[in-house]
């Protein structure tokens, strides 16, 4: 299943409303227009200064039917207003507009006024591999240097998310730089622990976990064979789990810019999926992210 199948299988959803925090990003608004036109969304609420939204819409020739605007003077105010709309059940999905990732994440995590649902929130990037199937990369954008317990929660979030978008019994590769356990490399020890947790059924939903695996062995069965690695996950991973934000972000950007994969990102673990796209993403890739979040909401 690729993004095209995902969008085709989604079907119209007359009641779903999305709020865009600080919606001063023309590509985000154009993607929302397309999602409204394709029936994935019933309404879009933008938090931002109304005159600036209208000017932006005029500049790019965007029809604002189906949009409503909640005034906000600053990105921080826009983020907390959008989070409030989710908390009060007025909207179902949250999307980042033209503000910094950390600003929206802080509003989401706010102890009194946020929308945490799980103990840990984490980022899941969904990419369409050259073979046409979808696979997940986590956590390339939220948790900076997780410890083993946080890694367990990050993997658990990704496994649940995989199930919610129809990747049942996912195979998860815990990535490291080598595929053997080196007592001097904590990431290889953590990967081995996560593998055992998988074998002992310590994740919320069934999954096959294997690691440490280097990216080549996780991605390519041939590469794994050449190294004599026997693994149920090698060459078939549905989830690629990195162990810190730096390696994750490097991999994410290399896959986007060098391999030119279509990638859509969401934060999971809050009361709704949070769509995080980067400014460089095109409107079609932002539409993929909206469709993905709608699918996750329907499947959770």
Site for ligand COD in 123-142 (CB under 6 A): 141-142
120 binding ligand COD? (CB under 6 A): yes
CA distances from 14 to 36, 66, 138 (A): 10, 12, 31
Backbone Cα Rg of the chain: 19
**Considering only residues 109, 185, 192, 298, which one is a binding residue for ligand COD as defined by CB under 6 A?**
109
Q: Residues with Cβ < 8 Å from 114, sequence gap 6 or more?
A: 83, 87, 107, 108, 270
115 binding ligand COD? (CB under 6 A): no
Select 13 or 249, whichever has its Cβ closest to ligand COD. 249
Q: Residues with Cβ < 8 Å from 277, sequence gap 6 or more?
A: 27, 28, 95, 96, 264, 265, 285, 286, 289
Site for ligand COD in 216-235 (CB under 6 A): none
Select 9 or 100, whichever has its Cβ closest to ligand COD. 100
8 A C-beta contact, residue 210 and residue 242? no
Binding characters for ligand COD, 77-106, by CB under 6 A (x = yes): ------------------------xx--xx
Which range of residues in 70-78, 88-96, 113-121, 254-262 is near ligand COD by CB under 6 A?
Answer: 113-121
For residue 179 the two structure tokens come to: 């595929």
Between the two ends of the chain, the Cα-to-Cα distance in Å is 18
CB of 248 to ligand COD, least distance (A): 8
259 binding ligand COD? (CB under 6 A): no
Select 113 or 169, whichever has its Cβ closest to ligand COD. 113
């Amino acid at each position: 299943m690729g993004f095209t199948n995902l969008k085709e299988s989604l079907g119209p959803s007359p009641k779903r409303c999305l709020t865009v925090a600080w919606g001063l990003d023309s590509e985000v608004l154009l993607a929302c227009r397309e999602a409204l036109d394709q029936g994935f969304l019933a309404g879009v609420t933008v938090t931002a200064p109304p005159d600036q939204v209208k000017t932006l819409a005029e500049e790019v020739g965007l029809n604002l039917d189906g949009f409503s605007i909640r005034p906000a003077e600053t990105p921080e105010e826009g983020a907390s207003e959008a989070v409030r709309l989710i908390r009060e059940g007025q909207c179902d999905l949250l999307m980042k507009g033209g503000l910094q990732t950390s600003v929206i994440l802080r509003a989401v995590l706010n102890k009194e006024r946020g929308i945490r649902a799980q103990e840990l929130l984490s980022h899941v990037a969904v990419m369409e591999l050259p073979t046409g199937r979808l696979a997940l990369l986590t956590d390339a954008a939220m948790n900076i240097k997780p410890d083993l317990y946080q890694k367990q929660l990050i993997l658990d979030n990704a496994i649940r998310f995989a199930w919610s978008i129809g990747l049942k019994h996912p195979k998860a590769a815990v990535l490291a730089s080598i595929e053997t356990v080196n007592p001097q490399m904590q990431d290889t020890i953590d990967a081995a622990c996560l593998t055992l947790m998988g074998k002992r059924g310590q994740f919320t939903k069934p999954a096959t976990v294997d690691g440490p695996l280097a990216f080549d062995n996780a991605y390519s069965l041939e590469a794994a064979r050449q190294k004599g690695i026997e693994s149920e996950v090698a060459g078939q991973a549905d989830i690629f789990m990195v162990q810190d934000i730096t390696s994750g972000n490097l991999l994410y950007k290399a896959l986007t810019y060098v391999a030119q994969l279509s990638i859509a990102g969401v934060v999971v673990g809050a009361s709704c999926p949070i769509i995080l796209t980067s400014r460089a993403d095109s409107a079609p890739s932002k539409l993929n992210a909206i469709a993905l979040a709608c699918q996750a909401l329907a499947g959770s």
